[in-house]
Structure 1
Amino acid sequence: MSDYEFKDELEFVNRLNEDDELFEREFNNVRRDFPFKDCKQIHDFLSRNRGVIVLLKNTKPLLKKYAPYASVHLELDVDPIFVPQLLVVVKALEHDFNNGFKEDISSMRSDILPLKSKLGLNKEFFIYDKFANEDNISALTFLDMCLIDEKNRN
């Protein structure tokens, strides 16, 4: 990777590291874009790993492209044996899951990998695919959330 690859992203991480108000604004954007529980734990994790915010910002268009029909949320995996890891959990119903979903998730992982590597966050961030049955999937897909967000901005 050249020194200029991801220059804007690296500069933004530096700004996030230096500016707590900017971090709080971006954290609120994450809260708006990705549903999650355990707000304090995720806030503290992102505060320590501010580059993950950049990964989430770059993951959002990938979700719209590859899995707009899926349900998405964030989870923090704090297994004591491993480094804490923020998971973007992407759930699809059986029909979608068996019709190219795993390949789409694999493409998303491949697309985000160079930035993860450049930011040194390979162990702290992961896009996780999951099977969802009709009873446990969120009523809103990622595309629904994006459309609601766009409508609220106008």
Structure 2
Amino acid sequence: MARRTVLAVTAGVVVLGGAGAFALAYAGEQPLSVAHSAARYTAPVGERDGSFTFTTDVTASAGVKNLKVLAWPANSSFAKEGLTAKDMAAVESAVCKPSGGDTARCTYTVKVTGADSEASPRGAWHVAVLATAKDGETKLVTKAADFTVA
């Protein structure tokens, strides 16, 4: 009887060990994701320039290659026609730094001059991002964050 108990316990450990290995393998293959996005727009005042800053966390089991960022007015042609990865090809990239595990904290900052502000449509704006992992996987988020130009 003791031998059966030892065999049953051994079989249980093998099954649980296999399930644990599967869980670890699955955890390492999670899809590319973009989370915790925030945008901040500060208008220029007098001779002082303003700024636009966007931050987000990008997670990729293969590692983060880059993050393209595009701020676009809610009443632009993108609202009607939709935004595609092709539209994002020529836009600027954020600076991404590892922040733990498979996650990178990406920040994009640009100066906003008085002339930039005058030429920009007033009202709601959206921020689109195209994240690319080191294995080539991409994720387009057309409305990662919102802000208002007053």
| TM-score higher than 0.5 | no
Scaled by the length of structure 2, the TM-score of the pair is 0.23
The structure with the largest helix share of the pair is 1
TM-score (norm 1): 0.22
Higher strand share: 2
Q: Which has the larger radius of gyration?
A: 2
